[in-house]
Amino acid sequence: MNDRLPPDVSPIVNESGIAIQPLYTEDDLAASGGLSMLGLPGEFPFTRGIHPLMFRKQPWTMRQYTGFGNAADTNARFKYLIANGQTGLNVAFDLPTQCGLDSDDPLAEGEVGRVGMAIDTLRDFEIAFDGIDLDRITVSLTVNGSAAILIAMYLAMAERRGFDVKKLRGTAQNDILKEFVGRGTWIFPVDASVRLVGDTIEYCAEHAPKYSPVSVCGYHIRESGANPAQEMAYAFAIACAYADEVLRRGVPIDEFAGRLSFNFNIFGNLFEQVAKFRAGRGLWAQIVKERYGATRPGSMWMRMIAGGGGGGLTFEQPELNIVRGAYYALISALSGAQTMALCCYDEAYTIPSEYAQRISLRTMQLLIEEMGLCDTVDPLGGSFYVETLTNQMRAEMARIIADVDARGGIVGLIASGSIQSQVSAQAYRRQLDLEAGRFRKVGVNCYRGDAEDPKVEFHPYDEAGTVDQVARLADVRRTRDASAVARALDDVRRAAADRVNAMPAIVSAVKAYASVGEITSALVSVVGRYREPVRFEG
């Protein structure tokens, strides 16, 4: 209670707006709601974890984010990480691919392969995953605006290599609504974008039922200025928007909810982060069970990847990011994440080097092998502080979701620019606090030390690689069946015009070696392109 705080001690309020007391007792826990939402791991409401034994049975998947240059370069890095113990792949794509542009498009100039792997046609996917056992190594495709095309390419590639697509596991970020709030790699208008996400969910429910076609990404909403409670609440509201879209098509909730997953951010106060994930699991389970009537326990799981927060890393004293990464991994483990992907210490400067990625990978392995993080489930469970904060975070998330619903729903708020304006204003205020020293950041506005040159290996931009990528695309266009491509693209346009599921037509186009840019242009010719509304909010 506040009366425990001496008058000469300053109050503390966490980023989510919750006042932190100097001491927590059973009275605080009871006032926050007690243990009614605790339960046991593996049982509703899953606050303590979605599996009974959690990491004691199987450690988290280690899935470092990687991809650069062309498919051959990225394939070599994939194999390096797997050889060093990585258990999943998390694929970065360059900006042209993310925005639905081919590598020879004038708008792609200077960006081909710069911040991720360049993909133009199915041939690139065949090269990128050559020699990768897709039954043993699951793959996450971190792409959004062009996700339907990349999912189609991945499934087509797996099928051609002899893998059973019905049993294929993996995921795609494919969360376009957060792109309108955060990163900005959108292509199509909001309604058409949501419909396309629905197409992927519906298609995978039938053809690739173990594949997760959407990883709802609170991560980038947090990076854009949202606080931790907003990060979770907006992600849940977005997930509900996708669920509503698929339910309108007559697909039962239990046929697809279990394959929705989440990508969340970790930086900031350790206890606030742990509490937000424990709270989020219980709240998401309640939403899926009570709002949507799901009956399968797996439909109610909040399956998540977490382990890094790029916004928490610093350009100054980058070696401190190694320490930050270790704490992020600790938080992720204490929070019960199914998958980790740690940001690397050099990411404020460049694409991570092999050395930096190995450090992040070893950090996760240390927690498994040496630190005892897999020994018991939910080791912070039962703490008066953690349980009280978990209840308070859950209540705050529920309040935010109710406010979103009362204002017309997340899709409308994003389409109008309201959510974007709010989080941008918060980001601006946070930057002012950082510059004024009110928000303390070690090495940035406190404990700066003497200026020194950072020991960071920069990743050079490969101009020759761009030339090779464009030549490979030209070769595909020269050798493919042009009439088959034309028919397939006509089918894509027809599906979009008729507002039927476009995925079968996209899959056929991909198999004919139509390019990302060609399929995107076919869709744009029918649904148009998104234009961002500009709003200002104080």
Token pair of 514 as six digits: 């139509």
Q: Looking at this protein, which amino acid is placed at residue 32?
A: S
- Strands 88-92 and 138-142, by their bridges, are parallel
- Decide: helix, strand or coil at residue 149: helix
Nearest alpha carbon to residue 430 among 321, 275, 217, 267? 267
Question: What is the pTM assigned to this prediction?
Answer: 0.95
- Quote the pLDDT of residue 538: 53
DSSP 3: G
Strand pairing class (19-20; 12-13) = antiparallel
> Nearest Cα to 210, choosing from 156, 155, 248, 279?
155
pLDDT per position in the chain (538 positions), as tens? 445 677 888 889 999 999 999 999 999 999 999 999 999 999 999 999 999 999 999 999 999 999 999 999 999 999 999 999 999 999 999 999 999 999 999 999 999 999 999 999 999 999 999 999 999 999 999 999 999 999 999 999 999 999 999 999 999 999 999 999 988 899 999 999 999 999 999 999 999 999 999 999 999 999 999 999 999 999 999 999 999 999 999 999 999 999 999 999 998 999 999 999 999 999 999 999 999 999 999 999 999 999 788 889 999 999 999 999 999 999 999 999 999 999 999 998 888 999 999 999 999 999 999 999 999 999 999 999 999 999 999 999 999 999 999 999 999 999 999 999 999 999 999 999 999 999 999 999 999 877 667 778 788 888 888 999 999 999 999 999 999 999 999 999 999 999 999 999 999 999 999 999 999 999 999 999 998 876 655 5
What is the rounded distance in angstroms from the CA atom of residue 485 to the CA atom of residue 382? 60
Contact 51, 41 (CB under 8 A): yes
pLDDT for the residue numbered 484:
98
Q: How many helices (H) and strands (E) are present in the chain, helices listed first?
A: 19, 12
> Which residues sit opposite 216 in a β-bridge?
262
Domains of the chain from N-terminus onward: 19-436 (3.20.20.240)
> What's residue 537's pLDDT?
59
**Token output for 322:** 């190694």
Distance CA 32, CA 38 (A): 13
Q: What is the pLDDT of residue 535?
A: 63
Residue 401's φ and ψ, nearest 5 degrees, are -60, -45
Nearest to 134 by CA among 174, 92, 162, 172: 162
Q: What end-to-end distance do the CA atoms of the chain give, in Å? A: 32
Task: Report the C-alpha gap between 148 and 175 in whole angstroms.
Answer: 11
- Write down the pLDDT at residue 311: 86
Q: How far apart are CA 410 and CA 221, in angstroms?
A: 13
Could you give the CA distance from residue 108 to residue 119 in angstroms, rounded to a whole number? 12
Query: How big is the CA angle at 441 (ends 440 and 444), to the nearest 5 degrees?
Result: 120
Q: Which of 467, 265, 457, 455 is nearest to 351 (CA)?
A: 457
